[in-house]
Structure 1
Amino acid sequence: MQRTFVDQLGNELTINYPPQRIISIVPSQTELLFDLGLDEEVIGITKFCIHPIEKFATRAKVGGTKKLRIDEIRRLQPDLIIGNKEENTQAEIELLMREFPVWMSDIYNLDDAVATIRQIGELVNREPEAAYLNHLIHAGFNDLQTLALSKGIHQNVAYLIWKDPYMLAGRHTFIDDVLRRIGLNNAVAESRYPALTLQELQALNCQLVLLSSEPYPFKEKHIQELQEALPQAKVWLVDGEMFSWYGSRLVKAVQYLFNFQQQLAGF
């Protein structure tokens, strides 16, 4: 049976339904597919699709999110490719769309993430499973927002994703929305991912500076560097997956962010 869908960029695609040969080129969406109960249907993933690790080891790798191995994708002959506007490169996606059905997500906030889970559930014939995940996510993040209010969490924060130059998560990003939902105020006024000098970072006068574990792998040694430059702020390492992965990882993120809020309450 064939069915037609419209992705989040407005592109129409017709697929053999339900799809049996899926390539996922976004790590968080790959994890979602497995958590929805798919297994052998997922035939190709990127080298960054590390969750769940036991699935990673047994799937064909089609390159990185921004540098795909197009020939390997052609060899696998997928009946569906699932990507994301921000994670993947436009030229590669447009090339793949000429040969295969490609469904693209476009995510800026938690509501978009929930819609993506629902739509991918429809796409792969796992609607009840997707609805259950979304129920857990809704309930969890509602509780986190209530906790932020009750604990008076409202610190100004800078969230760093890169070094040399320092790049931060600004407004209109998924990370910004997660920060806001747990009570934090993003000190960065610019949209997307601006690069700031150390002097500009100092001028933000943040109470809290978060160093993400990805995409740049910030470590303990980087805390001291920034703590000396920003003596008025607390500098913490955080698990970037919990702030930026927008699939089923959000279920696990609720507990992580709850524990994080407990730290903030004692700030």
Structure 2
Amino acid sequence: MKQFTDQIGVTHTFETSPKRIVSLVPSQTELLFDLGLEDRIVGITKFCVHPYHLKSTKKIIGGTKKVNYEKIRLLEPDIIICNKEENTQEIVQELLKICPVWVTDIYTIEDNYQMITDFGHIFDKRIEARKWNDKLAFALSDFKKFIEAIPVKKVAYFIWKKPYMVAGSGTFIDELLKLNHFQNHFASKERYPEIVLEKMEEEGNLDLILLSSEPFPFQAEDGYEIAKSATNVQAILVDGEMFSWYGSRLLKALDYFKYLHNSI
């Protein structure tokens, strides 16, 4: 009998390491795969696209905000992996009627290390988890040396259109913006505030506007419209997975960030 405490402070007891996993978070599905747990994953969301072949080999149980509880129940999971931001409290409460629900809460890179360590303990993949954390630590150290010479730029990171929404403070996106020497124009606002384009000019000058590929798939023409409203500040499209996915994805993100800075 082993006890583990998740990132929202709930203690879980397992007689044995869980063998049947349902994951309701795309980035965490990718991490589970990278830890060597593909055979234990039985259910995923329609947004779990990495690695792509899982969509044809695992049961799709809905999205991150709307799930099919009966499909999950029939999978007879030993554990369901959720995230405080991605999945609602109502979903978690309903899923608890099926089996233990492990909830992650990721705002910082340190939180990310902890999640990987936790998965290593829960699923008896301690060595694999340590290797991933070591790889991430090495890549992060290398990136910090790279970014030292890059001047700070004031940016706005757009995630949605109609209404326009941006990333504020208290988000993993904000953490990665800071890592990239991007000063978040909306850091004074929490989470994902709605904004009015015309007021951006009044709030101070921007150096750059970042338009994410997800959850809203911004296109080049959106950049022209937004830049025009923000005193012709350059707007560029960025890979939303690299700025918002945690877990093992961070390793690829650090390489992507170098490419991004070199292309600006």
Q: What is the total number of aligned residue pairs between the two structures?
A: 262
Q: Secondary structure at the match of 1:73?
A: helix
Would the alpha carbon gap of residues 203 and 135 (structure 1) be closer, same or farther in structure 2, given more than 3 Å must change? farther
Partner of 1:171: 169
Structure 1 residue 132: deviation in Å?
Answer: 1.3
Partner in structure 2 of residue 15 of structure 1: 14
Whole-Å separation in 2 of the counterparts to 1:214 and 1:196: 18
For the residues of structure 1 that align with 2:15 and 2:219, how far apart are their CA atoms? 45
Q: How many angstroms apart in 1 are the aligned matches of 2:263 and 2:152?
A: 13
In the alignment, is the contact (CA less than 8 A) between 1:15 and 1:80 conserved in 2? no
User: What is the rounded CA distance, in whole Å, between the counterparts of 1:53 and 1:15 in structure 2?
Assistant: 30
CA contact (8 A) 2:209 2:227 kept: no
TM-score (norm 2): 0.95
Q: Offset of 1:16 from its aligned partner?
A: 4.1
Give the secondary-structure state (helix, strand or coil) at the position aligned to 1:247. Answer: coil
Kindly report the root-mean-square deviation, in angstroms, between the aligned alpha carbons of the 2 structures: 1.3
Q: What is the Cα deviation at residue 84 of structure 1?
A: 0.4
The equivalent of 2:41 in structure 1 is 42
Q: Structure 2: where are the runs of 5+ without partners?
A: none
Moved more, 125-134 or 80-89: 125-134
Aligned to 1:256: 256
Residue 12 of structure 1 aligns to which amino acid in structure 2? T
1:231 positional shift: 3.6
Secondary structure class of the residue paired with 1:196: coil
**Does the residue aligned with 1:121 lie in a helix, a strand or coil?**
helix
Could you tell me the percent identity over the aligned residues? 43
Q: Does 1:215 pair with 2:215?
A: yes
Tell me how far apart the structure 2 counterparts of residues 35 and 167 of structure 1 sit (CA, whole Å).
32
User: Residue in 1 aligned with 2:131?
Assistant: 132
Question: Which residue of 1 is the match for residue 148 of structure 2?
Answer: 149
1:143 Cα deviation (Å)? 2.2
Structure 1 residues not aligned, in runs of 5+: none
Structure 1 residues 210-231: Cα deviation after superposition (integer angstroms, max 9, x where no partner): 0000011111221111122224
> Retained in 2: the 8 A contact 1:16–1:79?
no
- Residue 227 of structure 1 aligns to which amino acid in structure 2? A
1:186-219 CA distance string (max 9 Å, x none): 1112111111011223334211000000011111
**Residues 111 and 235 (structure 1 numbering): CA distance in 2 closer, same or farther, change over 3 Å?**
same
Indicate if the aligned counterparts of 1:207 and 1:232 stay in contact, CA closer than 8 A. Answer: no
CA contact (8 A) 2:198 2:230 kept: no
Q: Is the 8 A contact 1:211 1:218 kept in 2?
A: yes
Normalising by structure 1, report the TM-score. Answer: 0.94
Superposition map of 1:1-267 within 5 A:
2-151=1-150, 153-188=151-186, 189-204=188-203, 205-264=205-264
Q: Judge conservation of contact 1:145–1:183 (CA < 8 Å) in 2.
A: no
CA deviations 1:175-194 (Å, max 9, x no partner) are 00101011111111211111
Offset, 1:124: 1.1
The structure-2 alpha-carbon separation of the partners of 1:203 and 1:109, relative to structure 1 and needing over 3 Å to count, comes to: farther
Q: What is the Cα deviation at residue 155 of structure 1?
A: 0.3
CA contact (8 A) 1:121 1:130 kept: yes
Q: Counterparts of 1:70 and 1:16 in 2: how far apart (Å)?
A: 24
Distance 1:142 1:177 in 2: 16
For the residues of structure 2 that align with 1:201 and 1:72, how far apart are their CA atoms? 45
Quote how far apart the aligned CAs of 1:3 are. Answer: 2.1
Deviating more after overlay: 227-236 vs 114-123: 227-236
Contact 1:25 1:45 in 2 (8 A): yes
Change (3 A) 1:203 1:129: farther
**Residues 197, 230 of structure 2: 8 Å contact kept:** no
